[in-house]
Amino acid sequence: MVGGYVERMKIGVMLPLGGEDGPGGTMPGWKDVRAVAEAADRSGLDSVWLADHFFYRDPDGRTYGMHEGWTLLSAVAAITTRVELGNMVLCASFRDPGMTAKMAATLDEVSGGRLILGVGAGWHDPEYEAFGLPTDHRVGRFAEWLEIVARMVRGETVTYSGTYYTVREATLDPAPPHRIPILVAGHRPRMMRLTAEWADAWNTAWYGAPGPKVEERLEALRQALEIANRPADAVARTVGIVVRDPDQSPVADPDPNAIPVQELTGAAAAYQNLGIDHLIISPEPMTPQTVDRIAEAKRMISQP
């Protein structure tokens, strides 16, 4: 950063997926997802992202429905032209590793090479239990899954026999013409070791302005990369933050960490100073209007 000029940090936005993400706190439809994605694509933002859940059940027992994230991301790939596309993040337990690698190669083809394969171990027990998925050894399962996926999307023919997954001479044909970047979200020691071993990018979320917790997690990544004998810049650093547009109707359940969009330029400069490569913003509310205001702030950041 020179003279207040953020030289390279990317800024993207989460897209509506379900629950109360739609207009006026309603369940969003495809037209709502498309409107936000197209606003990001035309406004100069760098990326769009979708969460991956079957549903969310809050501690009071209320259930919020969700659309299937990969299907939506594929549709978004077909109606955008320039933004990068990613999951924040794909739950490994929901899809077989070999099939996930095939899906990634195909979506990358549809998008013209814009996919970032964001992945994680999962966490929300109610959706696991509802769909008959095991909740035990989540990180152990993820470790095997991640190795298979990473090796396949990087062009290997993989034979692997683990505790949870087995593949035999699994390969991608047609192969992606370039290396699909893999992003891992997590912060605990085992997840950080896996990030350092296999990932091209890492994510920690959800914050407002930067603070000690972000710095602590960045230090954990630095240490993990050092132990793995990888260069400090081998893994891109991404951070999820929540940004509110106070000029629109408030969302039903506002995030206490959210910063007003008027403060985004300063917050982005502070994240840049910490070495963050990519800010992923969860907008409140998730509307084209909020996206336009975020894009306006990005343009101000990029001016000397």
pLDDT digits (tens, 9 = 90+) for 108-129: 999 999 999 999 999 999 999 9
Q: What is the pLDDT of residue 202?
A: 98
Q: What percent of the chain has pLDDT over 70?
A: 97
d(CA 43, CA 133): 40
Closest CA to 94 of 55, 131, 140, 136: 131
- What does the pLDDT read at residue 300? 84
Q: Which amino acid is at 149?
A: V
Can you tell me whether residue 88 is helix, strand or coil?
coil
pLDDT of residue 301: 78
Provide the pLDDT for residue 8: 80
- Residue 143 neighbours by CB distance under 10 Å: 22
Instruction: Please write the tens of the pLDDT for every residue from 70-107.
Output: 999 999 999 999 999 999 999 999 999 999 999 999 99
- Which pLDDT value is given to residue 248? 96
Q: Using DSSP, how many helices (H) and how many strands (E) does the chain show? A: 9, 14
pLDDT (tens digit, 9 = 90+) per residue, 1-30?
223 323 589 999 999 999 999 999 999 999
Q: Where are the alpha helices (DSSP H) in the chain?
A: 30-43, 69-79, 97-111, 125-130, 138-153, 189-198, 212-227, 264-273, 288-301
pTM: 0.95
Q: What pLDDT is stored for residue 20 in this prediction?
A: 95
Residues (pLDDT < 50) of the chain are 1-6
Burial class (CB in 10 A: 0-12, 13-18, 19+), 221: buried
Bond into 285 cis (ω within 30): yes
Give me the domains of the chain, ranges plus CATH numbers. Answer: 10-301 (3.20.20.30)
pLDDT of residue 2: 28
